[in-house]
Amino acid sequence: MTRPLWIEVDLRALRNNLGAVKKYLGPKVKIVATIKQSAYGHGLLPIARELGRQGVDCFGLGSVEEAIALREDGFEGSLLVLSAVLDEFVSHFIHYNIIPTVVDLGFARKLDKAAKVAKKIVPIHVKIDTGMGRLGIYYNKAHDFIKKLSNFKNLSLEGIYTHFSVADSDKKFTNQQISVFNNFIKQLAKEKITFKFCHCANSIGIIKYPNAHFNMVRPGLILYGIEAAKGLNLNLKPVLSLKSKIIFIKKITKGRSVSYGRNYIAKGTRNIATVAVGYADGYPWALSNKSRVIIKDDFFNLAGRICMDHIMIDLGRRADIKVGDEVILIGRSKRKKLSIKELAKIANTISYEIVSCLSLKIPRIYRNFLKVK
């Protein structure tokens, strides 16, 4: 790497986190491992391979393209696309054996017709809206929709699900969503319309709302060792680290400025290090002058605005730090750590954005593969 910037992905930590989730849920609850958007920035295929080896029941994906990539990589298990897809692409679900999320009758009609031609029965998951206001038919209008879906002979009602909107901040509303979803399923069952899988719990739902587990859940953040909510100690381990190196050091004197906007003015003689990472790599510009890094097992603050390709670090008067020394932007040294959640808080954003925005151009290095005897 001529540009010293890389991501390290700890597969042992990934195995630990999946194992912790499985143990907590028990054998009756199936897992849709959410690996959309390149497994939250961790790398789609390597993460899918590792989770597949650990016996994950199903993968939750953000696009047909991601599902096709897994099929072409040899994965034969269940793949669920967690988004609506335009009608013109129904053939992909049939050809690649991919499970669609169905929220539109027109899409279902075309899917059923194509499945009939292919002489196949296509499993589908129906999404209803209980308060998210995004995809899905509102629950109070979904009854007739699902009855019509049940009449399509080449579609199988495998799953039904919904999504929480405020599971992290509003327990009352979330429990209302769970209650609405549960009652809706029971009402359908009275009419002999049943689903093999019912799911609504994401990572926060798994931790904070055991009544939302049903018989399937959709963990995302917690698989990657990112704390989704407090209240349950699963002993999660961070999977991703982001690292770079110092590429230049200069001494500046009192009154000198650093970076665009002259937001940093030296109050005395300082050593300033330039590090090979910037906002084009997904390191948030909002961290400018606010965040810190780890060098030689010590914290050092950012100096000035984050640039497209560089950040600057205030080394103080430290003279033992040299060009080529490692810089930890996310991760841990022997005594210090910088979590994704900490960076998200400083940048006034969410952990999802921190990891999913890391550029796919950054090399990913996968460590601690499980040795096969």
Here the tokens at position 25 are 């849920």
Beta partners for residue 78, in sequence order: 58
Q: Residue 238 and residue 224: Cα distance in Å, rounded? A: 6
Instruction: For 281-304, give one letter per residue: b (16+ CB within 10 A) or e.
Output: bbbbeebbbebbbbbbeeebebbb
Q: Residue 124 and residue 101: Cα distance in Å, rounded? A: 6
Q: Are 311 and 280 in contact (CB under 8 A)?
A: no
Q: Is 172 exposed, middle or buried (CB count within 10 Å of its CB: 0-12, 13-18, 19+)?
A: exposed
Q: Residue 195 and residue 324: Cα distance in Å, rounded? A: 57
- 1 to 6, 110, 281, 325, 361: CA distances (angstroms): 9, 48, 15, 15, 12
Beta partners for residue 298, in sequence order: 295
For 163, phi and psi rounded to 5 degrees?
-140, 140
**Residues with catalytic function:** 36, 260
For 196, phi and psi rounded to 5 degrees?
-65, -40
Residue length of the chain: 373
- 78 to 75, 90, 282: CA distances (angstroms): 9, 17, 31
